[in-house]
Chains A and B, each alone.
Chain A
Amino acid sequence: MIHRIWQFGLFIILSLVIVSAFLWAPLAKGLGEYTRILYFHVPAAWITVLAFMIGAVYAVLYLRKRELKYDLIAESASQMGFVFCILATVTGSVWAKVSWGSFWNWDPRETSIFILLLVYAAYFALRSAIEHPDRRAALSAVYAIMAFVTVPFFVFIVPRVYASLHPDPLINPQGKIHMEGKMLATFLTSLGSFTVLFLWMFKRRIDIVTIKLKLAKMEQ
């Protein structure tokens, strides 16, 4: 019952976000309709990073506790992160086409999101190359942590070495958000509700993993 209420509430809020992103929120000064993609691009990018972090945390947990459950949860987080990473890449690329004139131009931000895609893909490639579950779990956990340690070099160092045309990220050097009230309200609601959507999907994945493990145990 509680589940249903949550689902329904989330459905309403997400619908509101979509409607207000297209109709209610005003445009940024001097920019065209294309800026509205912001309300979907930024949450997708944020969830990509969040899922990546959750994956790394569960990788560490696996290495400490050695329970297969943590490995499967890390895998679920990475799978969902991968989906959102593709969404962020595609929406960003569409925006780049309209704003900068080409779908892909190796702007430092484009590079960093592409690297994240590669990391996820390599992680799945590694997982599919190892048969034994415990070995797969340990090795992919180590790889996830190694990737987690090196990715900040792309996110923080490379965009500062090379000039980027990307609009200020949410946490810019001045620590300010340049947005009007209505825009900000829509943006923050979108960010929040997409995060809740992700967490809800993630919880479902954890449930599935738990049931799968129980089934495997019963079969033995």
Chain B
Amino acid sequence: MQLILKAFYIFQKDIRQEFKTRYAINAIVLFAVVTLTAVSFSIGTFAAGDEVLAALLWIILFFSAMSGLAHIFVREEETHTSDTLKLVAPPMSIYLGKYLFNFFLLLLLEFITVPLFFAVMNFSISGVWPFLASLVLGSFGLSAGATMIAAIISKASAKGALFAVLSFPILLPVLIMGINATRIVIREESFAAISGPLQALFAYAVVVVTASLLLFDFVWNE
């Protein structure tokens, strides 16, 4: 219980710190808007079919996430606050707190980007709730993997470039399943139609969170 409580405190602290500078939120949302503009501008509103748009949506989300999610740990290293953090909380709480923050950040990103994408790209789907479920489950897995990779690269040099390079092979299942689910919900309304991808997304998230909780100690105390 203490573990969860401490994780929540860390989450709170990160939220407060983030809203003081708004570094990660600005970076991630602006990146998404810029990419969306570039995509919309270059292919036009009616040129692309729904299948292509489903892929584009996830690609925009993925690379926007890559632009900001590493900040959570890089910040601690840059301001030299990680040693203090080590004193006040066990590694598991720290991972959970940071993970929660990244999850929150991704949801915020989706809250802004997805409606914008639907409006600008003239994209429409039948199954709204299944789609939202796939987005939430996708973010669940995406932020879990990204948080762990962020912890790893915060200790290395050339952080920015490495983050995308290391994350891509680990996070690609989320991208594939997410695109797959979105393609299905364009025509299908029921949850049953995308139960396969949803299960895979959920399984992925559980596996990655479990592995991260077990391994985080080794990264954090390095």
* Docked-complex contact A122 and B145, CB < 8 angstroms: no
B interface SS class: helix
**Is B165 touching A139 in the complex (CB atoms < 8 A)?**
no
Q: List chain B residues, Cβ under 8 A from A143.
A: 149, 152, 166
Name the interface residues of B92-124: CB closer than 8 Å to any CB of A: none
CA distance A66 to B153 in the complex (A): 20
Among B15-23, B37-45, B200-208, which stretch is in contact with chain A?
B200-208
- Decide if B168 touches A122 in the complex (CB within 8 Å): yes
Cβ 8 A contact of A126, one of B156, B208, B211, B222: B156
A49: shortest Cβ distance to chain B, in Å?
15
Proximity string of chain A (125-138) to chain B, C-beta cutoff 8 Å, 1 when within and 0 when not: 11001110011001
Residues of A within 8 A of B208 (CB): 146, 149-150
A80 to chain B, nearest CB (A): 19
Residues of A within 8 A of B196 (CB): 161
A63 surroundings in chain B (CB, below 8 A): 215, 218
Which B residues between 165 and 195 are near A, CB-CB below 8 angstroms? Answer: 165-166, 168-170, 172-173, 176-177, 180
| A100 contacts partner chain B, Cβ-Cβ < 8 Å | no
Q: Give every chain A residue within 8 A of B165 (Cβ-Cβ).
A: 121-122, 125
Tell me whether A129 and B168 are in contact (CB under 8 A). Answer: no
With a cutoff of 8 Å between Cβ atoms, the chain A residues found around residue B158 in the complex are 129
Interface residues of B in 207-221 (CB under 8 A from A): 207-208, 211-212, 215, 218-219
* Bound complex: CA A153 to CA B168 (Å): 14
Q: Please, which residue of chain A has its CB at the minimum distance from the CB of B219? A: A142
B155 within 8 A of A: yes
Q: Is B7 an interface residue (CB 8 A)?
A: no
- Whether A126 and B173, one on each chain, are in contact in the complex, defined by CB atoms closer than 8 angstroms, is no
**Pair B169/A149 contact, Cβ less than 8 Å:** no
Q: Say yes or no: B157 contacts A130, CB within 8 Å.
A: yes
Instruction: Flag if B166 contacts A122 (CB, 8 Å).
Output: yes
Nearest residue (CB) in A for B212 is A146
CA distance A96 to B155 in the complex (A): 41
B217 vs chain A, min Cβ distance (A): 9
Least Cβ distance of A52 to chain B in Å?
Answer: 12
Q: Are B152 and A149 in contact (CB under 8 A)?
A: no
**Alpha-carbon distance A147/B211, docked complex (angstroms):** 10
- Say yes or no: A139-B152 contact (C-beta < 8 A), given A129-B162, A157-B200: yes
**A115-B172, A122-B166, A153-B200 in contact; A146/B218 too (CB < 8 A)?**
no
Chain A contacts for B166, CB-based, 8 A: 122, 125-126, 143
A147 to B166 CA separation, bound complex (whole angstroms) = 9
CA gap between A36 and B200 in the complex, in Å: 36
A158 close to chain B: CB less than 8 A: yes
Name the residue of chain A whose CB is nearest to the CB of B167: A122
Question: Cβ of B197 < 8 Å from any Cβ of A?
Answer: yes
Closest 10 CB pairs of A and B: A153-B173, A118-B169, A129-B156, A119-B169, A149-B211, A138-B222, A130-B156, A142-B215, A122-B166, A139-B152
Question: Apart from A150-B145, A150-B169, what are 4 other A-B pairs with CB-CB below 8 Å?
Answer: A122-B165, A138-B218, A142-B148, A146-B148
Please list the residues of chain B having a beta carbon within 8 angstroms of any beta carbon in chain A: 145, 148-149, 152-153, 155-158, 162, 165-166, 168-170, 172-173, 176-177, 180, 196-197, 200, 204, 207-208, 211-212, 215, 218-219, 222
